[in-house]
Amino acid sequence: MSTQHCLGLVIGSAIAPGQVPGATATAEASGFDEVWLAEDFFSTGGISGVALALDSTSRVKVGLGVVSAMARHPALLAMEISTISRVHPNRLIAGIGLGVPAWVRQMGLYPPSTLAALRECVTSVKSLLRGETVHQDGQVYTFENVTLTYPEVGKPTPIRMGVSGPRMLRLSGEVADGSVLSVAASHEYVQWARNRINEGRKRGGRTDDHPITVFAIYSVDADGAAARESAKTTLAFYGQHGANALTDVYGISDELNALIATGGYDALLAGMPDQWVDDLTIAGTPEECAARIKGFYDAGADSVALYPVATDRVDDIVRLTADAVMPWL
C-alpha cells in the first residue's frame, strides 16, 4: 500500500457539463488530491469531462473513472488517453471497467467473456501507450498492426481497473496499475478486495505499488441525522439492483434481495436498517465523516473519493469538506 493517503472527489455524470470546470477548480483550491469524472451512460461524458477538468486546474490529479471497456475499442481509448496525457503530463489516471451491465446491454455491447474483455482491453491499451504495435485476434477485440501516431512520452498514465467480484479483482492485481472500488463498499469489503488483488499480484509477479481508490456515497451536514437520511436515499438507488460481491462480503445479500422483492426501491428505502447507512456510506457530521474516511484508510484504501449526494450544490459541499472535515483527518 502507498504510504500517503489521498482524498478525492467524484463529479461528472451527476452534474451538468458546464459545472465541471468550476467544480474541479473549487476542489483543487480546497485541497483535494484527486478529482474523478464518472461516466454513467447516458449523461456527462467521461473523456470530455476529464479534458475540461484538466484544462481548468494545474495541480490536482484527474481520474477517468470508470470508463467502459466495451463502449470504445481499446485502440481508440488508448488514443484518447495519450492525447490528453501529452497535453497534461503526469496528472491523468485512467480507470477502465466493464460498465453497468444494463447500460452496456442497451447498446448491444455486452461481451461473451467479461474477463477476456477487460484483460485484452487493459493490456492492449498499455502496450499502445508505450508506442508498441498491437496485432492480435482476441476473444473480444481484433487489432491489425495498430500503432499510435502519438504514444505517450515520459511517465506512463496509470491504468486502473474498476471491478468488484473476486475474479475481476485478481485480474486487476495481475494486469492493472491500481483498482477502483464501487460505492456502497464496507470496510470489510475493502479488506477482502485487497486480499483478492494481492492474489492476482502474486500470480502476475507484480511488486510495484497498486493503489486502491474507494468511491463512497457522501453526505455531510451539521445535522448528522439529516445527512444520513440523504445518503440513505442514494444508497437505496444503488441497492435496488440487487446483491453483488459487496453485499455478499458485508453479509446482507439475502436480506437485501428480500426487501427488493417486496416492492423494489420504495420497499428498500423504507426497510433499510440504519446500520447499512452507517457502514456503507460516509454520512453524518464533519467529525463523523472524517472517522469514516479514516476507517477506509485503515481497511486498506489508499484514496477515498467522495461522491456527494447533493449534486445541486457540489461547490458548497466541497468547501464545507475543506473547512470542517479535512482538519479532522
- Banded pLDDT at 111 (limits 50, 70, 90): confident
Q: Is the dihedral of CA 310, 316, 319, 324 positive or negative?
A: negative
Predicted pLDDT at 114: 93
The contacts of residue 294 (CB under 8 Å, 6+ apart) are: 329
Predicted pLDDT at 1: 35
Predicted pLDDT at 40: 82
Domain assignment present for 117: yes
The C-alpha atoms of residue 169 and residue 167 are separated, in whole angstroms, by 5
Burial of 323 (0-12, 13-18, 19+ CB in 10 A): exposed
C-alpha cell of 144? 491489425
Domain assignment present for 255: no
Relative orientation angle of helices 187-204 and 166-175, to the nearest 10 degrees = 50
Domain assignment present for 305: yes
C-alpha cell of 162? 474498476
CATH number for the domain including 308? Answer: 3.20.20.30
- Banded pLDDT at 14 (limits 50, 70, 90): low
- The total number of structural domains that make up the chain: 1
Domain assignment present for 247: no
Domain assignment present for 257: no
Q: What average pLDDT does range 140-144 have in this prediction?
A: 96
The helix/strand/coil state of 244 is coil
The residue length of the chain stands at 329
Q: What average pLDDT does range 143-153 have in this prediction?
A: 97
Domain assignment present for 268: no
The C-alpha atoms of residue 38 and residue 46 are separated, in whole angstroms, by 6
Strands 61-68 and 92-97: parallel
Domain hosting 322: range is 6-224+281-328
The C-alpha atoms of residue 173 and residue 163 are separated, in whole angstroms, by 11
HSE (CB half, 13 Å, CA atoms) of 307?
Answer: 23
Q: Is the pLDDT of residue 3 over 80?
A: no
Domain assignment present for 180: yes
Tens-digit pLDDT profile for residues 278-310: 999 999 999 999 999 999 999 999 999 999 998
- Banded pLDDT at 12 (limits 50, 70, 90): low
Q: What's the angle, vertex CA 82, arms to CA 78 and CA 83, rounded to 5?
A: 115
Predicted pLDDT at 270: 96
The C-alpha atoms of residue 188 and residue 168 are separated, in whole angstroms, by 18
Domain assignment present for 101: yes
The helix/strand/coil state of 216 is strand
C-alpha cell of 130? 508505450
Q: Which of 279, 172, 251 is nearest to 243 (CA)?
A: 251
Burial of 314 (0-12, 13-18, 19+ CB in 10 A): buried
Predicted pLDDT at 246: 97
39 compared with 125, residue with greater pLDDT: 125
Tens-digit pLDDT profile for residues 214-240: 999 999 999 999 999 999 999 999 999
